Amino acid sequence: KQEVTQIPAALSVPEGENLVLNCSFTDSAIYNLQWFRQDPGKGLTSLLLIQSSQREQTSGRLNASLDKSSGRSTLYIAASQPGDSATYLCAVTPGGNNRLAFGKGNQVVVIP
Amino acid sequence: GAVVSQHPSRVICKSGTSVKIECRSLDFQATTMFWYRQFPKQSLMLMATSNEGSKATYEQGVEKDKFLINHASLTLSTLTVASAHPEDSSFYICSASDGGSYNEQFFGPGTRLTVL
């Protein structure tokens, strides 16, 4: 069974610092990996999707890397802003089916 | 594009009431829809997967007679919580996939269910 772990569970950083969020998964046979953002009481917003054949994806200040062989992904958020405060969820699609396995999230607070 | 809506966004009901939650894909045809529940400070747990026109596939431990799923069209799936009890209070989120090559799921905004 695929297990997804996110470290740290929570972190606070001053505005302007770069954020580094880590995700690890136990089974490297994945189809893709997604990073989502979730605001309190809200649904999920997809940030980046990395196919298993890709090593990274970038969108604006966000960059996500994928090392499938070691079962790791890292989400970088450059020059953090208070509006980046949210929970960031990592999810993998196991190979062979489309059922996402989620981590518990990284809860981020950016301090103005 | 790829917008998914849920209705209602919030519902409060008495114990024993049945509650229906709708999930709609607004601008694409969803061959597969998924239903998740999320407890406070926990991750999303998949409850069931539904394909249009066929019976839903439930995850282990999810009672299919309690959580009734209907995927009657390519744009609509419904989750009915039958005879809801306080322990069913949770945040329910649906997602939809068009079965494209990326297998990407698009998520709805969620429904907060509170059973008194």
The tens digit of pLDDT for each residue in A39-58 reads 988 899 999 999 989 999 99
Q: To the nearest 10°, the Cα dihedral for A63, A67, A73, A78?
A: -20
Residue of B nearest to A89 (CA): B43
User: Which distant-in-sequence residues (6+ apart) come within 8 Å of B36 by Cβ?
Assistant: B44, B45, B46, B47, B92, B93, B94, B95
What dihedral angle (degrees, nearest 10) is formed by the CA atoms of B103, B28, A64, A108?
Answer: -120
CA atoms within a 13 Å half-sphere pointing along the CA-CB vector of B20:
7
Tokens 């046979």 correspond to what residue? A29
Higher confidence at residue B116 or residue B31?
B116
Question: With contacts defined as CB-CB under 8 Å, which chain B residues touch A46?
Answer: 104, 106-107
Give the pLDDT band of residue B30 (cuts 50, 70, 90): confident
- Would you say residue B50 has pLDDT above 70? yes
CA closest to A48 among chain B residues = B104
Facing A103 at nearest CB: one of B43, B45, B107? B43
User: Do you know the residue count of chain A?
Assistant: 112
What is the structure's pLDDT at B69? Answer: 94
Task: From chain B, pick out residues whose CB is under 8 angstroms from the CB of A99.
Answer: 34, 46, 49
pLDDT tens profile B52-80: 888 899 999 999 999 999 988 889 999 99
Phi-psi label, residue A68: left if phi above 0, alpha if psi -120 to 50, beta otherwise: alpha
Model confidence at B17, in pLDDT bands (50, 70, 90)?
very high
Q: Which of B38, B59, B63, B37 minimizes the C-alpha distance to B48?
A: B59
Residues with Cβ within 8 Å of residue A26, at least 6 apart in sequence: A2, A3, A4, A71
Q: What is the pLDDT of residues A66-79, one digit of tens each?
A: 999 999 999 999 99
Query: Among A42, A48, A30, which Cα is nearest to A100's?
Result: A30
> Measuring CA to CA, which residue among B74, B79, B62 is closest to residue B30?
B74
Taking an 8 Å cut-off on Cβ atoms, the answer to whether A102 and B43 are in contact is yes
